[in-house]
Amino acid sequence: MKRKVLVNDRMQRGYVYYRTELVGRHFAPEFRPQLTPKQMLQLGVFAGKYMTDCRREFPANWFLRAKLSPAGRDPRLNYFGVNASQSLAVWRQNGWIRAQDPRGWFQWYCRYHMGRRTADDVRQIRRWRAIARHAAAIRKHCEHGNLECRRRQRQALLHWAYDSRTI
């Protein structure tokens, strides 16, 4: 059951972790993402500039219809066609990045989904739960189903595995 993963990509060299849970199973009770990493990549997140150099770590089918832009960020690839991301530099400056996941929350989520469990899970799940306030703002200010209302907030929610298309 325990599977060793060795990571060697542009942002990590020689990083080893273990997948100790079944793929997509045994999540913490308070962590119930609405989208899988595969679904997020297919919808269009992070302006297409994410995971373009680390595909071998994850299932090939995640990338079959993923909206990726190896050349650079392209917000038109996002589901809502808007930029809703802060730079990695801002994430680092705010202390949100840990060495085990140098790409941030989504990398943590991809690895968690694949079965890795670490001491950082509690912090990352707490951060995920805090993003729900954006869904509350959309519910308060937008007519149900109006996907043109608060597109940046809706895109930001997609970046955190909340399906803002259903609000």
Domain boundaries, the chain: 34-166
Q: Count helices and strands (H / E) in the chain.
A: 6, 2
> What is the structure's pLDDT at 136?
95
126 vs 124: CA distance, rounded Å:
5
> What is the structure's pLDDT at 67?
95
- Tokens 């705010």 belong to 94
> What is the structure's pLDDT at 53?
84
> What is the structure's pLDDT at 125?
98
> What is the structure's pLDDT at 165?
96
pTM here? Answer: 0.94
> What is the structure's pLDDT at 70?
81
> What is the structure's pLDDT at 88?
81
pLDDT digits (tens, 9 = 90+) for 23-45: 999 999 999 999 999 999 999 99
> What is the structure's pLDDT at 51?
79
> What is the structure's pLDDT at 50?
81
For residue 105, give the H/E element and its range.
helix 105-114
> What is the structure's pLDDT at 84?
93
Q: Which residues of the chain have pLDDT under 70?
A: none
